[in-house]
Amino acid sequence: VQLQASGGGLVQPGGSLRLSCAASGNIFGINAMGWYRQAPGKQRELVAHITSGGSANYADSVKGRFTISLDNAKNTVYLQMRSLKPEDTAVYYCSAEITEPNWNTDVYWGQGTLVTVSS
Per-residue pLDDT of the chain (119 residues; tens, 9 = 90+): 999 999 999 999 999 999 999 999 989 999 999 999 999 999 999 999 999 999 999 999 999 999 999 999 999 999 999 999 999 999 999 999 999 888 888 999 999 999 999 99
Give CA–CA dist 39/112, Å, rounded. 12
Judged on CB neighbours under 10 Å (0-12, 13-18, 19+), 108 is middle
The reported pLDDT for the residue numbered 103 is 86
Using the Cα atoms of residue 83, residue 85, residue 91 and residue 94 in order, give the sign of their dihedral: negative
